[in-house]
Structure 1
Amino acid sequence: MTDPRLLLLSPDDNVFVLRAAIEAGETVTLETGTATLPARLGMGHKIARRAIAPGEKIVKYGAPIGTATAKIAPGAHVHVHNVKSDHTPTYALAATSEEVPR
């Protein structure tokens, strides 16, 4: 049984979405085993449902949202450090985050 803190939005997805923050060092149960998170991840972040190869599409909501730029292990954080967005250039994400008033 998959960890209840993980949400699978579509059976075609290769990522889980965190329902709640998971602290560094905590173990999550995946369909194929377990994974220990090396760093804290907040609610809404994605982790790999299974191993994802470089160049493979990242699928969320049953639709491709990006392409893996590196090998991603099951349970590993899936984010801008290992995914190229199919929709927003990475440089635009950096510029936007700097422009948001606090």
Structure 2
Amino acid sequence: MPHFLIHNKNDNVGVAITDIKAGEEVEGVYIEDMAKGPKIKAINDIPLGHKIALNNLKQGDTVIKYGRPIGSAIKEIKIGEHVHVHNIRSNRWGKWRKSQ
């Protein structure tokens, strides 16, 4: 049974469909064709609905979900790490904040 979904083949994050515990070996599935995705060892606890890194990302790298850029890494992110507001800046939030 998959632990996370990958919305697009170009995504570098998946979305947890169950709570994931640090150290757990988890498997993803691609929504487009239900093909098996990568198996990854989770570095952190990742709550249901939050993102897991599918690739190593450097500071400034683009975070891709749904095949589209959703933000930028504000620090290094490793495969299997929890991806959320503590390590990415959202494109949407960043644009809103600049307009204030």
Range class of TM-score, shorter chain: 0.7 to 0.9
Q: Tell me which stretches of 4 or more aligned residues in structure 1 moved more than 4 Å.
A: none
- Name the CA distance, whole Å, in 1 between partners of 2:62 and 2:6: 16
Check the 8 A contact 1:13/1:62 in 2, yes or no.
Answer: yes
- Name the CA distance, whole Å, in 1 between partners of 2:42 and 2:50: 15
Give unpaired runs (5+ residues) of structure 2. Answer: 28-36
What amino acid is aligned across from residue 43 of structure 2 in structure 1? L
The residue that corresponds to 2:20 in the other structure is 22
Q: Which has the larger radius of gyration?
A: 1
Identical-pair percentage: 38
- Name the CA distance, whole Å, in 2 between partners of 1:34 and 1:65: 22
Residue 55 of structure 1 and its aligned partner are, at CA, apart by 0.4
- Name the CA distance, whole Å, in 1 between partners of 2:14 and 2:44: 17
1:69 counterpart = 2:74: yes
Using the size of structure 2 for normalisation, the TM-score is: 0.74
- Name the CA distance, whole Å, in 1 between partners of 2:61 and 2:44: 23
Check the 8 A contact 1:27/1:37 in 2, yes or no.
Answer: no
> Is the partner of 1:58 in helix, strand or coil?
strand
Aligned ranges 1:1-102 → 2 under 5 Å: 4-29=2-27, 31=38, 34-39=40-45, 41-89=46-94
Residue 60 of structure 1 and its aligned partner are, at CA, apart by 0.4
Aligned residues: 86
Larger strand percent: 2
- Name the CA distance, whole Å, in 2 between partners of 1:63 and 1:73: 20
> Is the partner of 1:87 in helix, strand or coil?
helix
Check the 8 A contact 2:23/2:41 in 1, yes or no.
Answer: no
Residue 23 of structure 1 and its aligned partner are, at CA, apart by 2.6
